[in-house]
Structure 1
């Protein structure tokens, strides 16, 4: 791709915008009138790319005309889509009928990526929130659904991601698998094991190490996680957290933080990624408060690092 610091695709995640309109309608089917304000705000925050999070609008549930309207609406604000993030639709969820519906939805999303001129679709193995997660101050503080760790289940995950990767390759779309706790993508080793088992050139990893360092327990060092995963990385969701541990009580604490201020040293992390040859799209995320403004700060911080670390033209 050979991007420059100014042209590197850094998409604004839409996690902070709801999938329901103010009057209670599904934003996906509500159409351009309910899409414009969000995209206008993203553009006003200085973004030129959007990471199309399907908790806001589900492109896989739009027909061809709806996709055309979504692309046209984004282009009216000089925005392009850098990725579609499929959220909480595991292809190995224990309910097999639901798993098959999720697979069909992912295929429709890949088809939508072609219509929306999106090069990447990000998938994961995390399931919808439990009731405890819905009521927690931060959802990661409550237990979620975890993958049953059997070889049969691991093989099923690899087989289904391979099927989806082949489907995407036929349409010149890449797939990235998102790191997330409690799943077969929950550690660096298991993530590498899974993407290696899939074994397709258009399927890589999204090393979202922020999902791991926020957990209130001992976790693998973030440098070690990146060292293992970066050779397989084709897309990157970046966010940071304050993290503390009191050895006297064993208590952990975490809270969302701007990239420059949190536990992960992203100047070092981005340098590691560049040295590994990473040149894929990035997505800036932040939970809580004015997430869009924080992600805009994160975008500028990343470009500053890229200007310092990429070779001068």
Structure 2
């Protein structure tokens, strides 16, 4: 639901809008050929709807033939210096809501709110965002809180995935593997959203190396692609791309992840332009890869 945003043209929050407004966006999703949707809390926090409004949301999805296999959260870090306790409580509500609705996957992350410069930029990732502190106590708190969420999720039959994102404790492939290994809980996996890293205007690990290191720990997976240009002068520039056209070879990446045991849903994303239609094309591309795959044994 990233193409729809959390505010309406008149400034109202989608969260506070009438269900008919939700239905308009979800109808667009269904008309694009989707039969599943992640509400994504940057669009709508279904965990913070009262029971009646949550039932209306579910009814709309059912009427459109849309299942809800996962819920993604964004910019609600459980170690946020101001709102960490609040976001931890919210994260538990998300897990409870997922259990209530029979949703099997939830994605969390440590990335913070967009800075004023990021909000003004054409592409927010070209400006510096919030950085997780280089503080052993905060790191241990992050591990402890994610393990706590993992224990809750396991009791509900749900899997958590932690989204890879720059300048967080999941900001590189090696950091991500280190973190999930330290959490050491079977319900906690990685959301190996390597597009978040490939788009950075700085040196990054090769995408194939990220897949090799992280896919054995992968759960629910956000996928997107970017064109990346690296000039010999050191200049790096990126731009959103469809899955089949950017720097990451997604056919190779997906096949390798399957070989390494990946068995969770994909969330297709795209920034800019008609993001919904590009996401639909990305969906079809993944289906072609899956239908034609040959897995070595």
Which TM class, normalised by the smaller chain length? over 0.9
The Cα of 1:26 is off from its aligned counterpart by: 2.2
User: Quick one: distance in 2 between partners of 1:287 and 1:26?
Assistant: 20
CA contact (8 A) 1:49 1:80 kept: yes
Q: Which has the higher contact order (CA 8 A, sep 6+)?
A: 1
Partner of 2:155: 170
Q: Does 1:19 align with 2:3?
A: no
Q: TM-score, normalized by length of structure 1?
A: 0.92
Specify which of 157, 171, 181 is matched with residue 166 of structure 2: 181
SS at match of 1:114: helix
Unaligned runs of 5+ in 2: none
Query: What pairs with 1:42-61 in structure 2 (closer than 5 Å)?
Result: 42-61=29-48
CA contact (8 A) 1:67 1:115 kept: no
Partner of 2:225: 240
Q: Does 1:267 align with 2:251?
A: yes
The Cα of 1:52 is off from its aligned counterpart by: 1.7
CA contact (8 A) 1:67 1:116 kept: no
Q: TM-score, normalized by length of structure 2?
A: 0.97
CA contact (8 A) 2:106 2:220 kept: no
User: Quick one: distance in 1 between partners of 2:9 and 2:231?
Assistant: 43
Specify which of 104, 109, 118 is matched with residue 124 of structure 1: 109
Partner of 1:4: none
Q: Does 1:72 align with 2:56?
A: no
Specify which of 16, 21, 24 is matched with residue 29 of structure 1: 16
User: Quick one: distance in 2 between partners of 1:117 and 1:21?
Assistant: 29
Unaligned runs of 5+ in 1: 1-13
The Cα of 1:63 is off from its aligned counterpart by: 1.6
Change (3 A) 1:65 1:310: farther
Partner of 1:252: 236
Specify which of 60, 78, 86 is matched with residue 91 of structure 1: 78
SS at match of 2:38: strand
User: Quick one: distance in 2 between partners of 1:31 and 1:70?
Assistant: 10
Cα distance per residue 1:82-131 (max 9 Å; x no partner): 21111001111122xx1001111111111111233211110000000000
The Cα of 1:310 is off from its aligned counterpart by: 4.8
Partner of 1:231: 216
Partner of 1:284: 268
CA contact (8 A) 1:168 1:175 kept: yes
SS at match of 1:158: helix
Give the stretch that moved more between structures: 113-122 or 172-181: 113-122
SS at match of 1:283: strand
Partner of 1:204: 189
Partner of 1:108: 93
User: Quick one: distance in 2 between partners of 1:140 and 1:153?
Assistant: 24
SS at match of 1:81: coil
SS at match of 1:205: strand
The Cα of 1:195 is off from its aligned counterpart by: 0.8
CA contact (8 A) 1:29 1:62 kept: no
SS at match of 2:228: strand
Partner of 2:280: 296
SS at match of 2:55: helix
CA contact (8 A) 2:6 2:43 kept: yes
Cα distance per residue 1:151-210 (max 9 Å; x no partner): 222111100001111112222221100000000000111111111111111110010000
